[in-house]
Amino acid sequence: MTIPVSGLRPASASGLDNVVAAETRLSHVDGEAGRLIIAGHDVEELAATHDFEGAVAALCAAAGLDQAPAGEALRAALGEAREAAFALVPGLLQLAAGAPITEGLRTGLSLLGDEADAPDHIRLLGAAAVFTAALCRAAEGKAPVAPDGQAGHAEDFLHMLRGEPASAAEIDALNAYMVTVSDHGMNASTFTARVIAATRAGTVSAIVGALCALKGPLHGGAPGPVLDMLDEIGARENIESWLEHALAGGARLMGFGHRVYKVRDPRADVFNKAVTILTNGNERVRFARDVEVAALAALRKAKPGSRIDTNMEYYTAVLLEALGIPRDAVTSVFAMARIAGWTAHVMEQERVGRLIRPQSVYVGPWPDGRAAA
Ligand code: COA
């Protein structure tokens, strides 16, 4: 696949917009139609018909990994991977004591070697769930809860997090979330994973790099600030004045805007539906909806030339809060699911891709005093 830059001019000073960096069979984002296809399925249909293990198997098949376990074999392999990762938890908790959860997860994943017998995607998925749950509990002064290798992945994560079983509705909601965010085209973290994979550095290195890209507030770090915003607004009578003041001060409203989607992010609707079912549309959800409506109106007024709509982080925040996921852990839970997509992209990149090595245009001084380009 070629990268269409014209000569040696910058493809875009503002972030490689519209540059095609890879061919992929994994997912497709149509930003004008508000459509997301993952491994041949519309995201709404995938979330309604597959659990997380099903999405992992679909992504592996799409990546051309014919021998990857699926069905019961995948469920068992993930269970074994969680049990293996639990042995690393005491060391991780020492290393990551006091660190934010996502930084703790970054430390934990980097403890895994790039060379190992078990398939990389399964090792990483198992470890991410175990480490995130243990780090959350440690932050509250609680001891880690051992995984149950027989349980489903989402179910076991909630159990390890809380120390008690989750309800069927909660497990369904977490599965819907994890399936929906399992992959999303050539976003910043996936591109990072593919750049690292293209050097043949190994899957664990690629995924640690991807997590570093994910954690920024302009990518996967927005949900925490969405909840902070809802809390700061506090009550209905403050909504409009709070938003107006924030926009007048040049702030970005977290949970709104997207580089590719110019209409509503289809994942926002999957999460809105899931959280409405889970909470029976409680007051927090109704408040979030009122803030959303007011924020869209305020953005249209403040940025009349921009097409800014709700992105998935907005209802991610509300859904994961309803599931009792600590605010500081939302990005790690996103990563737990997105590892499915990242590792599939790594497999695809290693199978068909070349070293990714773009050009830059030198605009600095020349030793002979020549003017910059
Ligand atoms: N709130 C207020 N203004 C916003 C905005 C937001 N959420 N998103 C974009 N804008 C404004 C920008 O300030 C810019 O205004 P300007 O032209 O007056 O400078 C204009 O809209 C275009 O924004 P731009 O930065 O070119 O868009 P982008 O494609 O680079 O940004 C995001 C996409 C996601 C980084 C951006 O929308 C954002 O910061 N959103 C909030 C964070 C968030 O929700 N992240 C999760 C993404 S899934």
Domain boundaries, the chain: 27-219+327-352, 223-322
Q: Is the pLDDT of residue 180 over 90?
A: yes
Q: Tokens for 112?
A: 């895994």
Q: For position 205, what pLDDT does the model report?
A: 96
* Percent share of the chain, pLDDT over 70: 95
Q: What is d(CA 84, CA 89) in angstroms, rounded to the nearest whole number?
A: 10
Residues in the chain: 373
What is the mean predicted confidence (pLDDT) over 340-363?
A: 91
Determine the straight-line distance between the first and last CA of the chain, rounded to whole angstroms: 28
Q: Tokens for 315?
A: 């209802």
At residue 13 the predicted structure's pLDDT band, cuts being 50, 70 and 90, is low
257 CA from centroid of ligand 1 (Å): 5
What is the mean predicted confidence (pLDDT) over 71-82?
A: 96
Q: Is 307 in the pocket of ligand 1 (CB under 6 A)?
A: no
Q: Is 256 in the pocket of ligand 1 (CB under 6 A)?
A: yes
Q: Is 73 in the pocket of ligand 1 (CB under 6 A)?
A: no
DSSP per-residue string spanning 95-156: HTTTS-HHHHHHHHHHTS-SS-SS-HHHHHHHHHHHHHHHHHHHHTT-------TTS-HHHH
Q: Is 144 in the pocket of ligand 1 (CB under 6 A)?
A: no
At residue 3 the predicted structure's pLDDT band, cuts being 50, 70 and 90, is very low
At residue 8 the predicted structure's pLDDT band, cuts being 50, 70 and 90, is low
Mean pLDDT value across the chain: 92
Alpha helix segments (H runs only) across 142-282: 153-162, 168-180, 188-198, 203-214, 223-233, 239-248, 266-279
Q: Is the pLDDT of residue 7 over 70?
A: no
182 CA from centroid of ligand 1 (Å): 23
DSSP per-residue string spanning 2-16: -----TTS-S-TTT-
Q: Is 252 in the pocket of ligand 1 (CB under 6 A)?
A: yes
* The overall pTM is greater than 0.75: yes
Q: Is the pLDDT of residue 228 over 60?
A: yes
Q: What is d(CA 193, CA 145) in angstroms, rounded to the nearest whole number?
A: 30
Q: What is d(CA 315, CA 167) in angstroms, rounded to the nearest whole number?
A: 21
What is the mean predicted confidence (pLDDT) over 275-299?
A: 95
CATH, domain 27-219+327-352, list 1.10.580.10, 3.40.50.620, 3.40.50.720, 3.30.70.920: 1.10.580.10
What is the mean predicted confidence (pLDDT) over 178-204?
A: 96
253 CA from centroid of ligand 1 (Å): 8
Q: For position 316, what pLDDT does the model report?
A: 92
Q: Is 86 in the pocket of ligand 1 (CB under 6 A)?
A: no
Q: Is 311 in the pocket of ligand 1 (CB under 6 A)?
A: yes
Q: What is d(CA 77, CA 3) in angstroms, rounded to the nearest whole number?
A: 38
Q: What is d(CA 209, CA 283) in angstroms, rounded to the nearest whole number?
A: 38
CB atoms within 10 A of CB 19: 13
Mutational test site, ligand 1, from 306, 309, 310, max ligand atoms within 8 Å of CB: 306
Q: For position 5, what pLDDT does the model report?
A: 38
Q: What is the largest CA-CA distance in the chain?
A: 71
Q: For 138-160, how does the pLDDT look when each residue is reduced to its tens digit (9 = 90+)?
A: 999 999 999 999 999 999 999 99
Q: Is 215 in the pocket of ligand 1 (CB under 6 A)?
A: no
Q: For position 219, what pLDDT does the model report?
A: 84
237 CA from centroid of ligand 1 (Å): 26
Which protein residue's CA is at the shortest distance from atom 3 of ligand 1?
A: 252
Question: Which amino acid is residue 367, in one-letter code?
Answer: P
Q: For 28-57, how does the pLDDT look when each residue is reduced to its tens digit (9 = 90+)?
A: 999 999 999 999 999 999 999 999 999 999
Exposure string of 348-365, with b = 16+ CB inside 10 Å and e = fewer, is bbbeebeebeeeeeeeee
CA contacts within 13 A on the Cβ side of 144: 24
Q: For position 2, what pLDDT does the model report?
A: 33
Among 58-62, 66-70, 187-191, 269-273, the least confident range: 66-70
| Residues tagged active-site | 258, 313
Mutational test site, ligand 1, from 14, 308, 330, 331, max ligand atoms within 8 Å of CB: 308
* Percent share of the chain, pLDDT over 90: 79
Which protein residue's CA is at the shortest distance from atom 35 of ligand 1?
A: 218
Which of the pair, 173 or 66, is modelled with greater confidence? Answer: 173
Could you give the C-alpha distances from 349 to 163, 182, 203, in angstroms and in order? Answer: 39, 17, 11
Q: For position 372, what pLDDT does the model report?
A: 66
Q: For position 75, what pLDDT does the model report?
A: 97
30: part of which helix (H) or strand (E)? strand 27-30
Give the closest residue to 278 by CA, choosing from 188, 173, 358, 153: 173
Give the closest residue to 25 by CA, choosing from 58, 67, 68: 58
What is the mean predicted confidence (pLDDT) over 213-221?
A: 88
What is the mean predicted confidence (pLDDT) over 66-94?
A: 95
Q: For 320-335, how does the pLDDT look when each residue is reduced to its tens digit (9 = 90+)?
A: 999 999 999 999 999 9
Which protein residue's CA is at the shortest distance from atom 9 of ligand 1?
A: 257
Q: Is the pLDDT of residue 100 over 90?
A: yes
Mutational test site, ligand 1, from 228, 252, 263, max ligand atoms within 8 Å of CB: 252
Could you give the C-alpha distances from 194 to 247, 343, 347, in angstroms and in order? Answer: 36, 9, 9
Q: Is 28 in the pocket of ligand 1 (CB under 6 A)?
A: no
CATH, domain 223-322, list 1.10.1060.10, 1.10.230.10, 3.55.40.20, 3.90.1150.10: 1.10.230.10
Q: For position 4, what pLDDT does the model report?
A: 40
Q: What is d(CA 37, CA 44) in angstroms, rounded to the nearest whole number?
A: 9
Q: For 118-133, how does the pLDDT look when each residue is reduced to its tens digit (9 = 90+)?
A: 678 999 999 999 999 9
